[in-house]
Amino acid sequence: MKEAQKLVVVTGGSKGIGRAVVRRFLQAGHPVATCARSAPDLDHLAAECAVDFPLAPLHTHAADLAEAAGCARFAAFVLALAPPVTVLVNNAGAFLPGRLQDEPADGSQLRQMLAVNLLSAYDVTLPLLPGLIARGTGHIFNVCSTASLTAYPNGGSYGIAKHALYGFTRNLREELKGQGVRVTAVLPGATFTDSWAGAGLPAERFIGADDVAEAVFGAYALSASAVVEELLIRPQLGDI
């Protein structure tokens, strides 16, 4: 089977880094399956990509991956598609800044951050793993953050969740490296997406989402005998 006939799966693909990754793989001729919470946003993405990449199909599914049931429905949607999965990009996430001492005492903010930033990746990955392992090939990218490596004063529960996602990625890498499945932690700094809307900073202080997508595609395009374990990307002028 030709490589371009194998399926690329991107969670949170309607905006930001996810959208850029979707478009980069479609540009290369790969069919892509993606999800987001907003059906209208997905419809807009599908219409745009049908014009820009008419030969590469985009499959969309509205799902809230902060809920285990939403992850299960999306994984079932992916598995029902004809092409086998060759790439999984766990990009879905959310950012809530603030200090731990100011968060609700019931722990709801930590649970919310873990659900969307960690458990969504876990719950989508596990149903797709058997196929990747059986075929002895594939590539999993988990979009972490520089906050996965460095604690920030206003990182709060977001920082905890991103540290946990990085730990999940490293464990997965150790488990799968002998089974032909590559695993990469993507660690971008401040990226020009909706999360930074209203920050009042010039665009050149940020990484472009297209740059992150190009780095992901470049890591994927290496031969099967090589793996980029971590993609650490920062703005040229440093962290914000």
Contact between 190 and 206 under an 8 Å Cβ cutoff? The reply is yes
What would the two tokens of residue 231 be?
Answer: 């993609």
What would the two tokens of residue 77 be?
Answer: 């949607």
Residue 79: how many CA atoms within 13 Å on its side-chain side?
15
Per the DSSP assignment, residues forming a β-bridge with 85 are 7
Closest CA to 63 of 97, 7, 13: 13
Whole-angstrom CA distances from 214 to 81, 188, 199, 235 are 26, 12, 25, 15
Label residue 93 exposed, middle or buried (CB < 10 Å: 0-12, 13-18, 19+): buried
Catalytic residue among 122, 158, 166, 220: 158
- 166 an active-site residue? no
Per the DSSP assignment, residues forming a β-bridge with 186 are 143, 231
Catalytic site positions: 158
